[in-house]
Amino acid sequence: MAISYKRVLLKLSGEALMGEDAFGINRATIIRMTEEIAEVAKQGVELAIVIGGGNIFRGIAPGAQGMDRATADYMGMLATVMNALALQDALKNHGVVARVQSALNIDQVVEPYIRPKALRYLEEKKVVIFAAGTGNPFFTTDTAAALRGAEMGVEIVLKATKVDGIYTADPKKDPNATRYSRITFDEAISKRLEVMDATAFALCRDQKLPINVFSINKPGALKRAVAGEDEGTLVHI
């Protein structure tokens, strides 16, 4: 693999870990994902990961109806910690050293987020998994990805989804929809394309931090995205 990017941040949704299950973590799915992540890490790429918690929270969502938004968001942050630990364990089984840092203090389980330590881990070629979002309610893990990406000085944010890029229309509804190979931030705004939540998108734009939206379910997609190939959709200045 010819490496194009030396330091990247991978944004993984919690839903990506479900596979075909209704909620939770599908073992076969996480093994397949970590195989690809491990392959990239072993090529010398400095890799940070921000992970969501929707797959865990989905299992308790019916009981959260009518709950205070801040309380529900904190529950979601705890769900990301569970996913981060599962991902760390799966990477260990593939011979990759990973460290989990949480924006919430849970010292008995994971270490707190400390920027200089996270940077040192990356320089040591350890995978750093950021859990608990930004540590604040009302902010999504997309925003956490943009924030940590800027703090870590990554070259690109790779947003792994179930769709292989950004389309002119919903490909499930419109068979004539076509995928954008590249698009600027301004074009995405003018066309009202949903790339990330508005806060995250604005932060990436202000920091001139490109975003690549690609499908994590497509074999080899992560490797090709890191290599700078035409994989997914590149959003740039």
Question: What pLDDT, on a 0 to 100 scale, did the predictor assign at position 169?
Answer: 86
Q: How far is CA 48 from CA 12, 25, 89, 100, 195, in A?
A: 11, 20, 16, 10, 20
pLDDT at 51: 95
Interval 195-213: pLDDT, tens: 899 999 999 999 999 999 9
The per-residue pLDDT for range 136-164, each reduced to its tens digit, is: 999 999 999 999 999 999 999 999 988 89
Q: How far apart are CA 33 and CA 38, in angstroms?
A: 9
Q: What ranges do the domains of the chain cover?
A: 7-236
List the binding residues for UMP: 53, 73, 134-141
Contact 200, 140 (CB under 8 A): yes
What pLDDT sits at residue 62?
A: 64
Per CATH, which fold does 7-236 belong to?
Answer: Carbamate kinase (3.40.1160)
Q: Which residue positions form the known binding site for ATP? A: 11-14, 54, 58, 161, 167, 170
Q: Decide: pTM greater than 0.75.
A: yes
Q: Give dist(CA 81, CA 90) in Å, integer.
A: 14
Q: Which residues pair with 236 in a beta bridge?
A: 184
Residue numbers in the known binding site are: 11-14, 53-54, 58, 73, 134-141, 161, 167, 170
Average pLDDT over residues 6-13: 96
Rounded distance, CA 184 to CA 85, Å? 35
